[in-house]
Amino acid sequence: MKELPYFKFYPNQWITGSISFMQLDVQGAFIKVCCYYWSKECKVSRNQIKTLIPKQWSALVDAELFKIEEETISIKWLDEQHQQRLVEHKRNVSNGKKGGLSRAKALRKDKIRKDNYANDNLLKVNKDINTYKRFAHLSMSLDEFKKLEENYTKEQIDSVCDAIQNFKKNTNYKSLYLTAKNWLKKEQTKQELETSKGFKAPWD
């Protein structure tokens, strides 16, 4: 099933709902979560969202704007729209050629709509939605970030990435992930940091 590039949004419900009384950065974070959730066909893990909006995560959880079920999240009003679209898709398929033609026509309209958004900075389809960090010619995906996070803290990873960005000869590097992984070898791992907790140096 092809990606649907938009979901239904009702301004009146937003303005009159509890979300409008929250801080603007929290409101923006929730919209970002909704867009990411929809782009992934409403199948997103808890860690993906936490990585996407680390500063606003706690506020959104406390506001119960989405449900956390084991390691995944659920946004009811988007789930309902997605389920409705699945039902419509199955109905079109069962209708055979007629339904197929109607579906093809709808997809052409969707493609035209998406093409019209291509040069719109506000509605531009983001191909780098899985990118954790990007600068110059280097980038790191969310999956690569998670691999590094298995052994190092987010603060350590961000610090090393900033150092690489400010390094004058970073044009020689081809992979931000591999470069960061190499630079992080100079840092203590999470396990080493945990082991050193409570240690008191003899000179203290």
Q: pLDDT tier at 91 (50, 70, 90 boundaries)?
A: confident
pTM metric for this prediction: 0.45
Residue 3 is given by DSSP the state: P
pLDDT at 53 over 90: yes
Sign of the alpha-carbon torsion through 5, 30, 36, 55: positive
Q: pLDDT tier at 201 (50, 70, 90 boundaries)?
A: very low
Residue 65 is given by DSSP the state: S
Return mean pLDDT, the chain: 82
pLDDT at 4 over 90: no
Question: Are the beta carbons of 152 and 189 closer than 8 angstroms?
Answer: yes
Percentage, residues of the chain above pLDDT 90: 42
Q: pLDDT tier at 117 (50, 70, 90 boundaries)?
A: very low
More confident residue, 1 or 170: 170
